[in-house]
Chains A and B, each alone.
Chain A
Amino acid sequence: MARQVLQFIVLFAVLILVQVLVCNNISIFNVATPFIFIYFIIRLPIDMRINWVLTLSFLTGLVVDIFSDTQGMNSLACTLLGASRNTVFGLYVGRRDELVDMVPSVRSIGIAAYMKYLLTMTLLYCAVITFVEAFTLRDALLSLLRVVCCTVLSFVIMLGIDSFVNTKNEKGL
Chain B
Amino acid sequence: MRNLISFLIRHSSWFVFLFYVAVSLLLLFRNNPYQQYVYLTSANAVSASVYKGVSSVTSYFNLHSINRDLQERNALLEMEVIDLRHRLDECRILLSADSLSLPDSVARSYEYHFASVINNSVSKPMNYITIDKGSSDGIEPEMGVVDQNGVVGIVSVVSEHAARVISLLNPNMRLSCKVKNSDYFGSLYWDGSSPYYAILEEMPRHITYHKGDTIITSGYSAVFPEGLIVGTIESGMRTKDDNFIALKVKLSTDFTRLSTVRAIKSKLTDELKEIEKEG
A-to-B contact residues, CB < 8 Å: 17, 20-21, 24-25, 27, 30, 33, 50-51, 54-55, 57-58, 61, 65-73, 75-76, 79-80, 83, 132-134, 136-138
Contacts and interface: CB of A to CB of B under 8 A. Distances in A.
Interface residues of B, number: 38
B59 interface: no
A80 B25 CA distance: 12
23 contacts: A17-B50, A25-B121, A27-B122, A50-B13, A55-B16, A61-B24, A65-B40, A66-B40, A66-B42, A66-B47, A68-B124, A69-B42, A69-B130, A72-B23, A72-B26, A72-B27, A75-B23, A76-B25, A79-B20, A79-B21, A137-B125, A137-B191, A137-B192
Contacts of A65: 27, 40
Interface of B: 12-13, 16-17, 20-21, 23-30, 36, 39-42, 44, 47, 50, 54, 121-126, 128, 130, 164, 171, 191-195
A32 to B, nearest CB: 10
A23 to B, nearest CB: 11
A21 B130 CA distance: 13
A59 to B, nearest CB: 9
Given A30-B194, A51-B13, A137-B171, A76 B21 contact: yes
Nearest to B36: A71
A70 B128 CA distance: 9
Contact of B126 (A30, A66, A83, A136): A136
A76 B39 CA distance: 18
A154 B171 CA distance: 27
Contact of A133 (B41, B124, B191): B124
Contacts of A20: 47, 50
Contacts of B125: 133-134, 136-138
B155 to A, nearest CB: 13
Contacts of B41: 66, 69, 71
B193 to A, nearest CB: 8
Contacts of B191: 137
The binding surface of chain A is classed by DSSP as helix
Contact of A71 (B30, B47, B50, B122): B30
Given A33-B123, A134-B125, A67 B42 contact: yes
A83 B15 CA distance: 12
Contacts of A66: 39-42, 44, 47
A-B complex: 7 closest residue pairs judged by Cβ atoms? A72-B27, A72-B28, A27-B123, A76-B24, A69-B128, A137-B192, A137-B125
Q: Which of B26, B28, B30 has most A Cβ within 10 Å? A: B28
A75 B20 CA distance: 8
Contacts of B20: 54-55, 57-58, 75, 79
